[in-house]
Amino acid sequence: MRKNIVAGNWKMNLNRNEGIKLVEDVLNLLSSNSTSEVVFSPSFVHLYKVNKMCKSIEGVSSSAQNCSASEKGTFTGEVSAEMIKSLGVEYVILGHSERRENFMETNNELKQKVDISLKNGLKVIFCCGESLSQRKNEVHFDCIKNQIEESLFHLNETEFENIIIAYEPIWAIGTGVTASTDQAQEMHQFIRDLISEKYNNEISENTSILYGGSCKPSNAKELFSQKDIDGGLIGGASLNAQDFAQIINSF
């Protein structure tokens, strides 16, 4: 059965003390009734500490925000999947639109990152999302299909079990504009159908598909109540303990 997951992407925010305090505060605010797994995704420099804070708590884990497409070697400033895994970290976020746009990450490079992450035992939170002009030109389904096919659909069934998809329309990220519940559900269903066609119904039903894009306490409950929305990848609101905990507790 697929898991409900709420992951907080801190991006390049919070110093060490702020990060530690945020994790402590969120953990204190979690409802014992929540059915969601919680994932904190800090920057690399905080990952060891944050992972240590989460590791012993059931249903709480950590994620890197990226990894190198290469195994090891002369890549100054890069961090490998093996290094991340050696900390005991469970997840890596790949293909965030900010990395696609600012660091020119292509579907093919992401395919390599997916492969190297899975090879090293990380689960992948794979982001996909269309731009505003793609949605206006009604090519948003093609865009998502293309991103998923080119970076993920070479995987075999066993490998695909370690993939979580995050649908994040670019026009909704950090803008305060959230996709409507219908828009989000429609795309999540489309993604689930794609997975079913490529693999089978069981794999598709077992894949967690998260929504990301200005998700906040006021809209989380409605979004998460949709049948194909299994949680959220949360940016801005994950930096505030009350907001993030409220989103998690929406399940």
Catalytic residue IDs: 96, 168
Structure tokens at 139: 């090519």
User: Whose Cβ is closer to ligand PEP: residue 10's or residue 251's?
Assistant: 10
Residue span binding ligand PEP (CB under 6 A) among the ranges 14-22, 55-63, 137-145, 230-238: 230-238
According to CB under 6 A, which residues from 166 to 205 bind ligand PEP? Answer: 168, 173-174
Q: Whose structure tokens read 């905990």?
A: 245
Residue 132 has a CB neighbour count (10 Å cut-off) of: 14
* Residue 223 is a binding residue for ligand PEP (CB under 6 A): no
Q: Taking the complex as a whole, how short is the minimal distance between the CB of residue 186 and ligand PEP, in angstroms?
A: 18
Q: Which residues, 6+ apart, have CB-to-CB distance to 84 below 8 Å?
A: 47, 64, 67, 92, 120, 122
Q: Taking the complex as a whole, how short is the minimal distance between the CB of residue 35 and ligand PEP, in angstroms?
A: 21
Q: Taking the complex as a whole, how short is the minimal distance between the CB of residue 72 and ligand PEP, in angstroms?
A: 28
Q: How far apart are CA 153 and CA 136, in angstroms?
A: 27
Question: Interface mask (CB under 6 A) for ligand PEP, residues 123-162, using x and -?
Answer: ----------------------------------------
Q: Which of 190, 180, 161 is nearest to 223 (CA)?
A: 180
Contact present, 238 and 10 (Cβ < 8 Å): yes
Binding interface with ligand PEP (CB under 6 A): 9, 168, 173-174, 212-215, 233-237
